[in-house]
């Protein structure tokens, strides 16, 4: 039997951090971006509890996947915002990623049977698809986005010369690594984790939520001690 409390607890923590960040005093655009990522994480948790409470509603799994597909592109866009690359192509690439997320959302919501609930087991949901090529392509898009965040983020940490931005980049990369590696460890140790990757990843994304909270705290502290220059690209 599915236990919704872990998902609801995770969502409440992420929403709480998002509200606290929105009430901060540092740059509004950055506050909105950090909070948006937290609401993406919390939204999936809530949607999963609804999916498992109403398994007969076939559109809900597709809605959950259409929602969370925005996470990697939003993370890449935050990376670009913080890294402030001198060339234009990283920002253009992040914009392409956001556009592709929009295409994925529309496709999942429009095409029946792209994502279906297989079962809700303890604290994780298991999904499958009758449209295998789309399901595989979705997974590739999502995983590639996470990989870009980690490897491009590590490079940005190594090359950034601004102490505040370097610390923020390190916080963000650490949060992503923590939830990705945590989820991988659980899936490796499970006898059968097929179809559970989205659910497991999003449960462990609480680590990313906490790291974003640390980013907010770091920015708030810097704002109190000295003016924080804008962290917006372009």
pLDDT of residue 205: 93
Mapped to the 3 state alphabet, what secondary structure does 167-230 carry? HHHHHHHHHHHHHHHHHHHHHHHCCCCCCCHHHHHHHHCHHHHHHHHHHHHHHHHHHHHCCCCC
Provide the sign of the torsion angle of the four alpha carbons 60, 145, 92, 223, taken in this order: positive
Q: Are 212 and 42 in contact (CB under 8 A)?
A: no
Give pLDDT tens digits along the chain (234 positions): 889 999 999 999 999 999 999 999 888 999 999 999 999 999 999 999 999 999 999 899 999 999 999 999 999 999 999 999 889 999 999 999 999 999 999 999 999 889 999 999 888 999 999 888 999 999 999 999 999 999 999 999 999 999 999 999 999 999 999 999 999 999 998 878 788 888 999 889 999 999 999 999 999 888 877 655 554 433
Q: Are 168 and 80 in contact (CB under 8 A)?
A: no
206-225 and 163-189 helices, crossing angle to 10°:
170
Radius of gyration of the chain (CA): 18
Residues 233, 88: Cα–Cα separation, whole Å: 10
* Mean of the per-residue pLDDT values of the chain: 92
pLDDT of residue 222: 85
User: Which whole-number Å values give the CA distances from 208 to 162, 170, 173, 182, 226, in the listed order?
Assistant: 22, 12, 9, 11, 27
pLDDT of residue 194: 80
**Assigned architecture for domain 5-225:** Up-down Bundle (1.20)
Tokens 């914009």 correspond to what residue?
A: 95
- Please classify residue 11 by burial: count the beta carbons closer than 10 Å to its beta carbon, then call 0-12 exposed, 13-18 middle and 19+ buried: buried
End-to-end Cα spacing for the chain: 50
pLDDT of residue 229: 53
* DSSP per-residue codes, 82-136: HH--SSSHHHHHHHHHHHHHHHHHHHHHHSTTSSEEEEEETTEEEEE-S-HHHHH
pTM of the entire predicted model: 0.93
Phi, psi of 124 (to 5 degrees): -120, 150
Query: CA 195 from chain center: how many Å?
Result: 18
pLDDT of residue 234: 37
pLDDT of residue 126: 92
């Amino acid at each position: 039997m599915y236990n919704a409390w872990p998902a609801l607890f995770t969502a409440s923590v992420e929403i709480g951090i998002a509200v606290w960040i929105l009430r901060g005093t540092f740059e509004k655009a950055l506050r909105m971006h950090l909070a948006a990522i937290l609401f993406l994480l919390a939204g999936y948790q809530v949607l999963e509890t609804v999916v498992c409470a109403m398994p007969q509603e076939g559109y809900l799994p597709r809605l959950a996947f259409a929602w969370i597909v925005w996470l990697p592109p939003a993370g890449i866009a935050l990376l670009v915002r913080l890294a402030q690359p001198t060339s234009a192509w990283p920002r253009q690439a992040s914009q392409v990623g956001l556009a592709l997320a929009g295409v994925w959302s529309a496709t999942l919501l429009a095409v029946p049977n792209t994502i279906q609930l297989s079962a809700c087991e303890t604290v994780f949901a298991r999904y499958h698809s009758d449209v295998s090529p789309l399901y595989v392509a979705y997974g590739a898009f999502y995983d590639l986005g996470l990989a870009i965040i980690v490897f491009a983020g590590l490079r940005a940490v190594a090359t950034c010369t601004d102490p505040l931005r370097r610390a923020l980049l390190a916080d963000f990369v650490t949060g992503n690594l923590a939830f990705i590696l945590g989820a991988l460890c659980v899936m490796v140790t499970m006898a059968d984790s097929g179809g559970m990757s989205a659910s497991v990843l999003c449960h462990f994304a609480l680590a990313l939520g906490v790291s974003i909270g640390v980013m907010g705290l770091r920015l708030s502290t810097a704002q109190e001690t000295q003016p924080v220059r804008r962290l917006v690209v372009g």
